[in-house]
Structure 1
Amino acid sequence: MPQKGDEFLPLFEESGIYITGKHKLLSKEEKEKAINIARFFKPKHPAFMVFLRAPKIIHPTVPTKFVNKYYRENAKFIKLQSSDGREWLLNNTGIYRGQLRLGNGWARFSNEMNLKAGDICVFELMREKDFVLKASIFKI
């Protein structure tokens, strides 16, 4: 049974989008924006959502359930792709305390994609073997 504040989680599960436990810290407006994304954005591959809450997020984390199901530790890098075909290689920092962080290279991706606090990123797993993630950015 969902805990208070988790009522919207089944929508994400139905959409195939994983989210971190930090969703409990979201404002009402942020939750509404995330719910609208989950309703209308239907990823073709397993996906997870990252909420950009601070102006500069150093290393966002991948939801634990997503990591447990899809992540392979032998991937030397994590590759991010934008919808326009650009790519960024992130160092694979490995799992620390059960979490996988999008490591060195995130700042470059964030700057080049002009990410701001309030933006939401959905990452689709395009290739599991070498952990290639396609980024879809939803601006504030």
Structure 2
Amino acid sequence: MKHDTFELTVNSSLYPYVPNAFLRRHKECWGKFVELKVDEKSWSVKVKYYPGGSKLSVGWTEFKEECKLEIGDRCRFKLIDEKKFVFEVSFERVLYV
């Protein structure tokens, strides 16, 4: 995976962790709002910094609900603007039979 991307799997926790390896390379986004883009729509989501692992927080629930994300879905975040911290987000949905 490239340095400007990270992935996470939606789980039952309220706010998902952002991989530490990604955040160590992009410390400027700690505690700030980032923009998540899916097609033409975008959401502002805060990166909440914790020494043990940072999370996507304020705005995540709205993003998750509007994108109809379910537990087990994988999200791929590609950093497309390093100055404004804009991410293009794509999904791999889990299909339950």
Q: TM-score, normalised by structure 1?
A: 0.60
* CA RMSD across the alignment: 1.9
Deviations 1:57-105 (A, max 9, x none): 42111111100012314774111111x2100011343x21242211110
**1:51 equivalent in structure 2:** 9
Question: Structure 1 residues 73, 98: CA separation in 2 closer, same or farther (over 3 Å shift)?
Answer: farther
**1:103 equivalent in structure 2:** 57
Find out whether 1:88 has 2:28 as its counterpart. Answer: no
Moved over 3 A (4+): 73-76
The count of corresponding residues between Structure 1 and Structure 2 is 94
Q: Could you tell me how far apart the structure 1 residues matched to 2:63 and 2:40 are? A: 13
Find out whether 1:62 has 2:15 as its counterpart. Answer: no
| Percent of aligned pairs with the same amino acid | 30
More contact order relative to length (CA 8 Å, sep ≥ 6): 2
- Residue aligned with 1:62, SS: coil
Structure 2 unmatched runs, 5+: none
Which is richer in helix? 1
Structure 1 unmatched runs, 5+: 1-14, 18-45
For the pair shown, the structure with the greater C-alpha radius of gyration is 1
